[in-house]
Chain A
Amino acid sequence: MSTDAVLYDHPGPKAKARNLVLTIVFGIALLGLLYWIYSRFDAKGQWDGVLWKPFTYGTTWNDYIIPGLLNTLKAAAVAMVLSLAFGIIFAVGRLSDHWWVRLPAGAVVEFFRAVPLLLMMFFIFFGVPFITEQPMSIFWAVVIGLTLYNGSVLAEAFRAGVHSVPRGQSEAAYAIGMRKSQVMGQILIPQAARAMLPVIVSQLVVLVKDTALGYIISYSELIQLGVNNLSANYGNVLQAAIVAAIIYIIVNTLLTSFAGWLSRRTRRRGRAPREAGTAAEQATIGPSMGGGGVS
């Protein structure tokens, strides 16, 4: 159901007048809220030029924000590649005909999806060094944590994708004498991957957001460098946090619109496999909740 204009009648003169009054009332309430925030900031002197000025310095961007953003994107990109591999391997594992492959793969995927990412990262960063007796690289602690979690989420997405490929495809492949591995590798996965492309890109948004967890184990990403370290120099936590939030919002909005564009494109070609349930698919486009994900 398209929500606009179905839930309410086309406004007549009376409704138009009422809507106008409500618009003004809520508009004033909203302005009041904004003014309240403004005055709270003002009372604590948070609009002082000194606090905002650092964002006009080149060094702020070159030494803090840009390196932080690059580290965030680097961790997200490496984790993406690894989680794709992890996802494909475990999706194939869960679809296996042998129970001794299917059950362990299923257990691994379910386990890593249920464990909070932060708990995982703490274990990798603080716990694993006790076992290996070697210090853990902070970058890899973040990346491995992200990979295990997002890889498991992608494994489920891939499994749904493989199920959405019409049965005739694999039947035809078997009929011309392909082996199981060939059917999976050459017929099912390429088609599933195309159907799942938007979901994969949306998962990137989750990855970008979840790299922020690296801040908690002091990986020098955007919050660590651009908010924590920057505000240690200039005493402008609030301002730095707002700027960092804007950067995250821009990056993630770009990724989301890219995912939307991809899904429109695959749909237009009309060769995409039968949709795996439109509502479910639409829900996955757009960023899902990080750290826990919606899946």
Chain B
Amino acid sequence: MDVFSDPLNRDVYITGFLWILKLTLAGGVGALVLGVVLAAMRVSPIPVLRGFGTAWVNIFRNTPLTLIIFFCYFGLFSTLGLSLADDIDLNNFWLGVIGVSVYTAAFVCEAIRSGINTVPPGQAEAARAIGMTFLQTLTIVILPQAGRAVIAPLGSILIALCKNTTIVGTIGLMESSSAMKQLINENGDNVIPIFLVFAGTFALVLIPTGYAFGWLANRLAVKR
């Protein structure tokens, strides 16, 4: 543990996990908003929107996140000149958020769509019978019920997203896995403690998060 008594190394560790936290929060919000919109598109009466949603899901769900992040950096930023911030780290951060959000949104969309499938047809029929429009049916009747059914899958997606944010390290952000790589290269005699601290931090946060989502899903499940 001497490695972490050095304040410089502790800083590397803390900055690494702060980036992970920020990426997870920003990416999670982006993916949730995009995912709900995509799910609404996929069940809408307008064929163009349905096609757009389906294409999005099939493209991004089947492409490795590494390639998407790579594309965000070398494609959007280097080649097409899309700059999101003057600070290099901040620019990489936002590019990473874009990559993680568009990738995760595809999974959120599919989770919500399968949640919509758990709502009994009678609910939508009743909503239509009292004259609700498609958007009203969806936002007032169906999505609130579907939302409670998808808490567990969304929890798994959030946990996966948190782990996936380590990939943003590829484009030069010093997030936790790059931080660990640096510490390992500088302190070759303390490899195992370094790994255990980094991996342990993830395990200590993510395993309880998983159980918490399971508990929440049970508590909020619609009893039928």
The reply to whether the CB of B207 lies closer than 8 angstroms to some CB of chain A is yes
A209/B65 in contact, CB under 8 A? yes
B206/A241 in contact, CB under 8 A? no
Would you give 12 A-B contacts (Cβ < 8 Å), ordered by A?
A1-B123, A111-B203, A122-B180, A130-B188, A209-B62, A216-B169, A244-B67, A245-B59, A279-B149, A287-B62, A289-B65, A289-B104
Partner of A205, one of B62, B74, B180, B198: B62
| Complex Cα gap A274–B70 (Å) | 43
Number of A-B contacts (CB under 8 A): 217
| Complex Cα gap A245–B67 (Å) | 7
A290/B65 in contact, CB under 8 A? yes
Q: Flag A2-31 by CB within 8 Å of B: 1 or 0 each.
A: 111011110100010001001100110010
Query: What is the CB-to-nearest-CB distance from B79 to chain A, in angstroms, rounded to a whole number?
Result: 5
Residues of A near B189 (CB, < 8 A) are: 130
Query: What is the CB-to-nearest-CB distance from B94 to chain A, in angstroms, rounded to a whole number?
Result: 18
A1/B117 in contact, CB under 8 A? yes
A223/B67 in contact, CB under 8 A? yes
The number of residues on chain A lying at the interface, defined by a beta carbon within 8 Å of a beta carbon of chain B, is: 70
The number of residues on chain B lying at the interface, defined by a beta carbon within 8 Å of a beta carbon of chain A, is: 80
Q: Taking CB as reference atom, which chain B residue is nearest A16?
A: B45
A114/B203 in contact, CB under 8 A? yes
Residues of A near B48 (CB, < 8 A) are: 23, 26-27, 30
Query: What is the CB-to-nearest-CB distance from A206 to chain B, in angstroms, rounded to a whole number?
Result: 10
- Chain B interface SS verdict (over half): helix
Q: Flag B94-111 by CB within 8 Å of A: 1 or 0 each.
A: 000000000110010011
The reply to whether the CB of A215 lies closer than 8 angstroms to some CB of chain B is yes
B177/A116 in contact, CB under 8 A? yes
A119/B110 in contact, CB under 8 A? no
The reply to whether the CB of A70 lies closer than 8 angstroms to some CB of chain B is no
B128/A130 in contact, CB under 8 A? no
Q: Taking CB as reference atom, which chain A residue is nearest B165?
A: A116
| Complex Cα gap A265–B121 (Å) | 27
Known: A7-B134, A209-B65, A210-B64. A19 touches B184 (CB 8 A): no
The reply to whether the CB of A127 lies closer than 8 angstroms to some CB of chain B is yes
The reply to whether the CB of A252 lies closer than 8 angstroms to some CB of chain B is yes
7 nearest CB pairs, A to B: A292-B160, A212-B64, A292-B163, A252-B62, A116-B163, A212-B66, A130-B188
B residues engaging A (CB < 8 A)? 42-43, 45-49, 52, 58-59, 61-67, 70-71, 74-75, 78-81, 103-104, 107, 110-111, 113-114, 116-121, 123-125, 128, 133-134, 137-138, 142, 149, 153, 156-157, 159-164, 166-167, 169-170, 176-177, 180-181, 184-185, 188-189, 191-192, 194-195, 198-199, 202-203, 206-207, 210
B167/A223 in contact, CB under 8 A? no
Residues of B near A215 (CB, < 8 A) are: 66, 70, 170
Q: Taking CB as reference atom, which chain B residue is nearest A127?
A: B191
Query: What is the CB-to-nearest-CB distance from B201 to chain A, in angstroms, rounded to a whole number?
Result: 10
B156/A294 in contact, CB under 8 A? yes
Residues of A near B123 (CB, < 8 A) are: 1
A123/B180 in contact, CB under 8 A? yes
A248/B63 in contact, CB under 8 A? yes
Q: Flag A245-271 by CB within 8 Å of B: 1 or 0 each.
A: 100110011001000000000000000
A249/B80 in contact, CB under 8 A? no
B78/A115 in contact, CB under 8 A? no
Known: A8-B45, A23-B46, A122-B184. A286 touches B199 (CB 8 A): no
Query: What is the CB-to-nearest-CB distance from B101 to chain A, in angstroms, rounded to a whole number?
Result: 13
